[in-house]
A and B are shown apart, each in its own frame.
Chain A
Amino acid sequence: MASYLEFLQIYAPRFLDGTIITLQQTALGILLAVLVALVAGFMKMAPVFPVRLPAIVYIEIFRGTSLLVQMYWLFFVLPLFGVTLDKFSAGFIAVGLNLGAYGAELVRGGVQSVRRGQYEAATALSMSPFTRMRRIIFPQALLNMLPPWGNLIIELLKATALVALISVTDLMFESKQINASTFMSAQAFGTALIIYYVIARFILTPGMRGLEKRLSRKLSIG
């Protein structure tokens, strides 16, 4: 145990650096995922097929293949088409686009779960379709979809570990490096596992719960 404390004393700063990169990747990934999920989710509900098509293609491609493949494709193949991404951007863009495809389905499911009567009531109050969506439908849909979004965000945090494979110096990468130089695998990987667990269980999960509570309070007060 004493040796583990020594180990931590030496390597804590590197774990911390890695954790910061992981948190940055997670935050940027969430931002991108929410954005594309909203766009693709609403596009997929469009009444006209040409609008639905790009959303369907995007969702099926990103849900049908592996994140690792998508990330390598963005990082190694896209430059051949004249678009070069640095590894940090390629990392969070791949993660965001991948989880965004799953998010799009959550957006669609959430909006469709709002009861018919809500639409009718809003129409009876002569709201425009846009106002109806913004003020009546979407807030309720949001409340319905927050719990699955909580799970998705945990998946996103875990997915960022893959960016280490294109050499983004995140938590996973640091633990791999430390393992390679010390051969203290249980300590190196174990510490990283615990840090991921703490972020998921004590930051992201309570954060999403808080968001849910705030939204439901807001909705019930009107």
Chain B
Amino acid sequence: MFDWKWGFTFEILPRLLEATLNTLIAAGLGYLIALVIGLVFALAQRTPFRLLTFVVREFVEFIRSTPLVLQIFFVFYVGPQFGVRLSPWTSGMIAIGLHYAAYLSEVYRAGLDSVPKGQWEACTSLGLSIQRTYFKIIIPQAIPTVIPGFGNYLVGIFKDTPMLSVIGVMELFHAATSIGAETYRFLEPYTLVGAIFLVISLPAAMFMRRFEDWVRVSLGMKKLHAKD
């Protein structure tokens, strides 16, 4: 195929695979941050403090309607202006973690809202503590609603990690760009990056669907997906 060099391909493949590890670490770490902060965002919007609810709501809305790349630049460059120097990794994780926290908070919210009000009332009338209400009654019922969302955003954060390359995080896309700059060959590195992304994200998405059905079945619900 058009000038495709297999020798060169195998020469750069180890370097790209090594960088893939960084991509996976970035996605995983960012997702963990997003899971925790997202929960905080979601719970903050359920408190009776109107002002807090309003501020968090608007902040989430702001993050969700502005580009991630710009947020990454913002976090990376604004620190030094005020004398705080953050490494590319730190600022990248803050930016991508916050960005996805905003999205995940909506998933948490939808999950908690999907549980009928009667369930809360039943818990109150049985005199269950707030912990038992959440852990034994509400959360198990919210899980099937939130799994697709969590799954999509996990794949989503993985696909957004190339944006971290703009501030110099050494992930997969950064490695491909460096190879391109060193060798003036773009065909193999960028095609390989695309292929690596596909090889990871397609099975991941399929696994998510299976997992969703598995959870639904084990909670005594119907499967959503036919065999794929």
> A and B bound?
yes
Please give the residue numbers on chain A whose beta carbons come within 8 Å of chain B beta carbons, in ascending order: 60-61, 63-70, 72-73, 76-77, 80-81, 154, 157-162, 164-165, 172, 175-176, 179, 183-186, 189-190, 192-193, 196-197, 200-201
B90 at the interface (CB under 8 A from A): no
The total number of A-B Cβ pairs within 8 Å is 118
Known: A190-B74, A196-B67. A77 touches B160 (CB 8 A): no
B163 within 8 A of A: yes
Give the docked Cα–Cα distance between A187 and B202 (Å): 40
Task: Say yes or no: is B81 at the interface (Cβ < 8 Å to chain A).
Answer: yes
**B67 shortest CB reach to chain A, Å:** 3
Q: Can you list 26 pairs linking A and B with CB atoms under 8 Å apart?
A: A63-B201, A65-B194, A65-B201, A66-B161, A72-B173, A72-B177, A72-B190, A76-B180, A76-B186, A76-B190, A77-B190, A77-B191, A80-B186, A160-B67, A162-B67, A164-B69, A185-B74, A185-B78, A185-B81, A186-B78, A189-B73, A190-B74, A193-B62, A193-B70, A193-B71, A197-B66
CB neighbours (8 Å) of A160 from chain B are 67
**From residue A148, how far is it (CB to closest CB) to chain B in Å?**
13
Identify the closest chain A residue to B186 (Cβ).
A76
Report which of A65, A162, A165, A196 forms a contact with B197, defined as CB distance below 8 A: A65
A61 and B65 within 8 A (CB):
no
Which residues in B have their C-beta under 8 angstroms from that of A175? 70, 73
Q: How far, in whole Å, are A159 and B162 apart by their CA atoms in the complex?
A: 13
Which chain B residues lie closer than 8 Å to A67 at the CB level?
159
| Besides A189-B74, A201-B65, 7 other A-B contacts (C-beta < 8 A) | A66-B160, A72-B177, A72-B190, A161-B70, A175-B73, A189-B70, A189-B78
Q: How far is the CA of A154 from the CA of B78 in the complex (A)?
A: 25
Among B61, B65, B194, point to the contact of A69 (Cβ < 8 A). Answer: B194
Main secondary structure of the interface of B (DSSP, over half): helix
Q: Are A69 and B173 in contact (CB under 8 A)?
A: yes
B187, A80: Cβ atoms closer than 8 Å:
yes
- Across the interface, A73 reaches (CB within 8 A) one of B69, B163, B194, B202, namely B194
Residues of A within 8 A of B77 (CB): 179, 185, 189
**Per-residue contact bits, chain B 93-135, to A (CB 8 Å; 1 contact, 0 not):** 0000000000000000000000000000000000000000000
Of all chain B residues, the one with the shortest Cβ separation from A176 is B73
**Cβ-defined contact, B197 with A192, below 8 A:** no
Residues in chain A near residue B190, CB distance under 8 A:
69, 72-73, 76-77
User: Do A64 and B198 touch across chains, with their CB atoms under 8 A apart?
Assistant: yes
The residues of A that contact B68 with a CB separation of less than 8 Å are: 158, 161
Residues of chain B within 8 A of A159, CB atoms compared: 67
Kindly list chain B residues whose C-beta atoms are within 8 Å of the C-beta of A192: 70
Whether A69 pairs with B67 at a CB distance below 8 angstroms is no
B6 within 8 A of A: no
Q: How far is the CB of A180 from chain B (nearest CB, A)?
A: 10
B70 touches A69 (CB 8 A): no
A185 to B76, CA, bound (A): 9
CB distance from B172 to the nearest CB of A (A): 9
CB distance from B77 to the nearest CB of A (A): 4
Contact A69 B2 (CB under 8 A): no
Rounded to whole Å, the gap between the CB of B215 and the closest CB of chain A is 22
What 4 A-B pairs are tightest by C-beta distance, nearest first? A161-B67, A200-B65, A185-B77, A76-B186
Q: Mark B59-89, 1 if CB is under 8 A from A, else 0.
A: 0011011111111011001101110000000
* Option from A73, A179, A196 in Cβ contact (under 8 Å) with B66: A196
